[in-house]
Every structure is written in structure tokens, then in C-alpha cells.
Amino acid sequence: MLGPITDHQGLPMNQPYHAPEAAPADPLNRRTTDPFAFRGRLGRLRYFAYVGLVMLVLYLMLTFASILSAGVAGDGRPTVLVGLVALALMVVATFAWVVYGVRRLNDMDRSGWLMVLGFVPVLNLVLALVLLFAPGSPGDNRYGPRPPANGTGVVLGAVAAGLVMLALIGIVAAVALPAYQTYVERAKAQQMQLQNR
């Protein structure tokens, strides 16, 4: 005579209080949200927010160092301190940009070694556009599962980064356009002087 059907632990299969078995989580396949981890994938919006906020912090710290240095020097000129702070900040910003770029390329199922193109003139502009606008893999890929959904903080960070970039473009345009107009007027004046001779 056959007894009750049991599982591999000897518990009856019709036991209502038997906890279901689950496969252990794979620690290498976690969805990484650590901002400075090379492993994992990074979506477009999170990439834009992270890079934009790193640049914002970089410019704020550089501005603070310039103001502090000019105040210490007393003559309004930046000192060696500003150069050293700028160098340190650029190293940190470059490291962060490489980390985010590698994870963004992983999201597109591409090797992170393509970030080397970011240091080649002209190709770095193409790479920047690809990183910002190319969609990631729709599901899991060889670099891990899909990136986590964007939370409120990521959306607010992306909006802040966008506003900062628009402000920087506005400042550059406000400085560059009058300078260009002055240059054109001077060139016309010099050309008229040469024609009158």
C-alpha cells in the first residue's frame, strides 16, 4: 500500500502550511542602483540625471573654490589652489562619466570598452548622442536584468540637470553672441578703412 505523496523533505504535498520553495537570489544579477558601480545597467533618464548632477556639483565646487581663492589672494586673481581643485574635480567627474557610460552601454547590450571612444575627438560627440538617445535592451541581457524603474528622485534630478544645461547654454549664448557681433563690426570697420586708403 502506498503512503501519502511527499516532497524531497518528507513533508506531505497537501500540507497547507508548507512554505513554497524559491530559488536563491543571484547576487551577481541584482539591479544595481549604486551610482558608482561599474556592474549593471543604467537607463537613459538615470544616466542623464547622474551625469547632469555630477556636472552641477563640479561647477558649484569650482565656483566656490574660485571665490575662496580670489578672496584669499586679495587681488581678484585665482591662485594655484583653484588649479589643484579643478584638476581633482575633473578627475572625479571623468571617473563618474566613465562609470555611467559603461553602465549605459551595458544597457544597450554593448561592451563598456566602447567608452574609450569618449576620449577621441568628434567620436566623443557621436558617443554622447548615442548614450543620451539610444534605447536600451527591452528585457534582460548579458549584463543583467532591466534597470529599475525611475523614481521621483531620478526624474527631479533629470529636470534639474536639464535646467542647469539650459542655463549654461543661455549664459554661453549671452556672452558669445555680443562678442561675435562686436567682432563682425570691427572686421567691417577695418575692411572699410582698407578700402578708403
143, 41 in Cβ contact below 8 A?
yes
pLDDT at 15: 53
127, 114 in Cβ contact below 8 A?
yes
pLDDT at 134: 92
Sign, CA dihedral 168-174-179-185, equals: positive
Of 97, 12, 10, nearest to 57 by C-alpha is 97
In this prediction the pTM is 0.66
- What percentage of the chain carries pLDDT values higher than 70? 77
Residues 6+ positions from 130 with CB-CB distance below 8 Å: 108
H helices of the chain, in order, are 44-73, 80-107, 123-133, 152-196
Residues 6+ positions from 77 with CB-CB distance below 8 Å: 70
Q: How many CB atoms neighbour CB 100 within 10 A?
A: 23
6-28 average pLDDT score: 54
161, 49 in Cβ contact below 8 A?
yes
Q: How many CB atoms neighbour CB 115 within 10 A?
A: 21
The domain ranges of the chain are 33-190
pLDDT at 27: 46
Sign, CA dihedral 9-15-17-23, equals: positive
Q: Which of these ranges, 34-38, 85-89, 94-98, 193-197, has the smallest mean pLDDT?
A: 34-38
Looking at the DSSP assignment, which residues form a beta bridge with residue 141?
A: 144
Cell 554661453 belongs to residue: 172
pLDDT at 93: 87
User: Best-predicted range by mean pLDDT among 5-19, 60-74, 147-161?
Assistant: 147-161
What one-letter code names the amino acid at 118? G
pLDDT at 101: 93
Q: Which of these ranges, 105-119, 138-152, 157-171, has the smallest mean pLDDT?
A: 157-171
47-76 average pLDDT score: 78
Structural Rg of the chain based on CA atoms: 28
